[in-house]
Amino acid sequence: MYTTEQTKELQTATHTFLKHAASVEDIDALRNVLRFHEYRYYVLNDPLLADVEYDKLYKQLEHIEKQHPELVAKDSPTQRVGSTLNAAFPTVQHLVPMLSLDNSYNAEDLYDFDRKARELTGLDIIEYCVEPKFDGASISLIYENDILVRGATRGDGVEGEDITTNIKQIKSIPLSAPFSKFGVQQVEIRGEIILTKDVFKKYNESLAEQGLPPLANPRNAASGSLRQKDPKNVAKRNLDAFLYHISYYTTRDGHVQSSDGIQNDNLPKHNKYLQTHGGSLDMLWECGFRAPKKEKLILNGIDEVIKHVHDFEEMRDTLPYEIDGMVVKVNDFALQDKMGMTTHHPRWAIAFKFKARQATTKLKAVEFQVGRTGAVTPVAKLEPVHIGGVTVSSISVHNEDYIKEKDLKIGDNVLIERAGDVIPQIVKSLPELRTGHEHNIHFPKKCPVCASELFKEEGEAVWRCINIDCPAQVVERIIHFVSKDAMDIKNFGEANVRKFYELGLLKDVPGIYKLDFAAISKLEGFGKKSIDNLQTAIEASKEQPLHRLVYGLGIRFVGETTAKTLANAVDDINDFTNKTEEDLQQLEDIGVKVAQSIYRFFHNEQNLKILDELRALGLQMKNQKKTSTGDSTLKEQTFLFTGTLTKLKRSDAEAMVEDHGGKIVSGVSSKLNYLVVGEDAGSKLEKAKKINTIRIISEDEFLSLINK
């Protein structure tokens, strides 16, 4: 939509306005700048600015328009919400416009918000409901007569993209919900689709395993995931949803309530859930949604709110999901109605944004590192910069294509982001700040460690050193093997691996179990105690479960999750030598490329020799879970649990199945033997009823089956 030339001009204007606030003469230019950044952010998912910088420009426009109300145009960025609409999905109209939120970064802004709220309501003190601002992609859902009938993105606020099929793949969104219990017939609710930190980390790991660069934050991952063409891919992403707002509903006895106040009728007074925002969150919770029932807090007056949002910011990193602030909402619906909304945001709510986790700094140099698979990774050295409590001074820039795509040069200013405890990423370079002294990054032709020629496979972005004796690779393989997520050999660590390797005390993975401790005891810093500890840890690692060994071997494309799938599929690691690529592809989430890599690994003589050696050294090579259980009451039987169990925790029940030789499957199909039904079971039960061979049993029946 924008040419290179236009982009350049808009970027220049951007930086001018960031340095010197725009004046009224600049109003059109400023609007164009904001529209441009909205397009980059919402449509392309590729912003050129830090959020704080965007907000700064937005505030300038608000300020000018406030001073000159006659200049406010209908298409001004302050009059609407940035649009994500594109042609991939049909558009549908929201029942009530889905707006943005007003922003605040400090206590001052919150005092200001409270003052206006008190003016508009005529009250001395206001009750607020404060909840986390989930960092994901917003959605709107409609339920009619308890059934989910539509799911849509925010789009441009008035219309959204119809993504109903994709929404149905998200497990924390019920396909039916008992709104009728609350007298509600039709309801439009809003929420945020998120990836938990765990899932986001795994998702990035899977990208890395495929040689793809990771995403900078879960928000981008969530909005990308929602717009997948194939709903199966959505299911695989393990998305989650928080629902936090009822924007519209009709009741069975004819009331209509809408949060834009248009069709407002008297609130159903008998229904305590529908008087306040906090109450509506409780109702959503009761209906089976993941609403912030426990995360919310009802507070009196703005001082309490300010204290709470600051306290919550401290806890930010302990949460299992990413939040970028808190949302402060006037709790009473009647007051919300009174206050109303602008075309951009409701007047009864404000977002308090946490400290930014984006920053700009300078790219000083690029170094090249060789990993355990021989991949050569460029690492950018940065002028140290603080983000979110840590100092970042180097950052992986992944591969040659990534460098080109981000247009990185040595000497550039770059925008970096650190989402939670995720490894920081370069969001982009800022070419408009170039002075002419920058220079291109040259990729080496030879391995920086062993000097052998580098190769790039067709269709891949990564250059590799294919010399298997390349010292860098050998060392990295050993480091991976002892690491926490693999064999978890405590006290070993990267530094020791490097030291032992350099001194010739350790040459390969089996060497870990043959260390010459007499020689090590002569090294500086190795007292009796530390040697004892090391020895104990190495010995203990021999009993690690099979999936850790499989992961530790460092087979290409095999991350922790795949390693678990693999380990569960065999009785002994040697069984892999008899599996064909087709056999491997039958396993969950193992595609052609991964199967090929696993097959190759277990048909490589050198690797098999190493496995034999490890077996001889006493490592656990069997799948203990499968072989040790004496009890096999449920042998070969498949189970699935649905609804809420009342006596058992779901994970315990699943473990019981496995302990008795049974298997847990992920969906209802003819392969399923037992569906165990808890309270409020939904679509799975319906589906299972249609397949004759599935036995549908209660939790009690399950327990008696186990205890037979």
Ligand X SMILES: NC(=O)c1ccc[n+]([C@@H]2O[C@H](COP(=O)([O-])OP(=O)(O)OC[C@H]3O[C@@H](n4cnc5c(N)ncnc54)[C@H](O)[C@@H]3O)[C@@H](O)[C@H]2O)c1
Cα R_g (the chain), whole angstroms: 29
- Is 470 a binding residue for Zn ion by CB under 5 A? The answer is yes
Pairwise CA distance, residues 270 & 252, whole Å: 13
Strands 358-370 and 147-153: unpaired
Query: Which of ligand X, Zn ion, none does residue 470 bind (CB under 5 to 8 Å by kind)?
Result: Zn ion
Q: How many residues bind ligand X (CB under 6 A)?
A: 24
Which of 110, 173, 328, 351 binds ligand X (CB under 6 A)? It is 351
- Is 447 a binding residue for Zn ion by CB under 5 A? The answer is yes
Kindly list the distances between the CA atom of residue 229 and the CA atoms of 141, 207, 226, 395, 627, in Å, as whole numbers in the listed order: 19, 18, 9, 32, 42
Instruction: Give the residue with the Cβ less far from Zn ion, 60 or 467.
Output: 467
Residues 6+ apart with CB under 8 A from 193: 136, 137, 138, 139, 170, 222, 223, 225, 226, 239, 240, 241
Check whether 135 is labelled as a binding-site residue: no
Q: How many CA atoms lie within 13 A of 482 on its CB side?
A: 27
Check whether 101 is labelled as a binding-site residue: yes
**β-bridge partners, 187:** 143, 249
Which of 78, 84, 138, 280 binds ligand X (CB under 6 A)? It is 138
| Closest among 677, 673, 678 to 694, alpha carbons compared | 673
Instruction: Give the residue with the Cβ less far from Zn ion, 43 or 466.
Output: 466
Instruction: Give the residue with the Cβ less far from ligand X, 356 or 706.
Output: 356
Exposure b/e, 306-315, CB count within 10 A at least 16 = b:
bebbeebbee
CB of 191 to ligand X, least distance (A): 8
CB of 448 to ligand X, least distance (A): 36
Check whether 53 is labelled as a binding-site residue: yes
- Is 346 a binding residue for ligand X by CB under 6 A? The answer is no
For the record, the structure tokens of 209 come out as 């395993």
| Closest among 658, 651, 653, 707 to 676, alpha carbons compared | 653
Instruction: Give the residue with the Cβ less far from Zn ion, 274 or 465.
Output: 465
- Is 474 a binding residue for Zn ion by CB under 5 A? The answer is no
- Is 192 a binding residue for ligand X by CB under 6 A? The answer is yes
- Is 101 a binding residue for ligand X by CB under 6 A? The answer is yes
Residues from 428 through 487 that contact ligand X (CB under 6 A): none
| Closest among 643, 648, 651, 647 to 676, alpha carbons compared | 643
Pairwise CA distance, residues 539 & 617, whole Å: 10
Q: Are 422 and 398 in contact (CB under 8 A)?
A: no
Instruction: Give the residue with the Cβ less far from ligand X, 181 or 310.
Output: 310
Check whether 206 is labelled as a binding-site residue: no
Give the active site residues.
133
Q: Of 129-137, 204-212, 578-586, 640-648, which segment contacts ligand X by CB under 6 A?
A: 129-137
Query: Which of ligand X, Zn ion, none does residue 492 bind (CB under 5 to 8 Å by kind)?
Result: none
Which of 129, 427, 465, 648 binds Zn ion (CB under 5 A)? It is 465
Residues 6+ apart with CB under 8 A from 221: 195, 200, 203, 215, 237
Q: How many residues bind Zn ion (CB under 5 A)?
A: 6
For the record, the structure tokens of 342 come out as 């602008």
Check whether 450 is labelled as a binding-site residue: yes
Pairwise CA distance, residues 128 & 331, whole Å: 5
- What is the three-state SS of 127-174? EEEEEEEECCEEEEEEEECCEEEEEEECCCCCEEEECHHHHCCCCCCC
Instruction: Give the residue with the Cβ less far from ligand X, 331 or 623.
Output: 331
Q: Of 208-216, 469-477, 520-528, 573-581, which segment contacts Zn ion by CB under 5 A?
A: 469-477
Residues from 42 through 81 that contact ligand X (CB under 6 A): 47, 49, 51, 54-55, 81
Place of tokens 């209908």: 74
- Is 199 a binding residue for Zn ion by CB under 5 A? The answer is no
Instruction: Give the residue with the Cβ less far from ligand X, 242 or 551.
Output: 242
Sign of the C-alpha dihedral computed for residues 433, 437, 443 and 447 taken in this order: negative
Strands 663-664 and 638-642: parallel
| Closest among 43, 33, 30, 28 to 8, alpha carbons compared | 33
Check whether 154 is labelled as a binding-site residue: yes
Check whether 329 is labelled as a binding-site residue: yes
Q: Of 164-172, 435-443, 468-476, 687-695, which segment contacts Zn ion by CB under 5 A?
A: 468-476
CB of 151 to Zn ion, least distance (A): 50
- Is 466 a binding residue for Zn ion by CB under 5 A? The answer is no
Q: Of 95-103, 113-121, 145-153, 406-414, which segment contacts ligand X by CB under 6 A?
A: 95-103
Which of 22, 141, 449, 479 binds Zn ion (CB under 5 A)? It is 449
Instruction: Give the residue with the Cβ less far from ligand X, 347 or 615.
Output: 347
Binding site: what residues are annotated?
51-55, 100-101, 131, 154, 192, 329, 353, 447, 450, 470
Applying CB under 6 A, the residues found at the interface with ligand X are 37-38, 40-41, 47, 49, 51, 54-55, 81-82, 100-101, 103, 131, 133-134, 138, 154, 192, 244-245, 327, 351
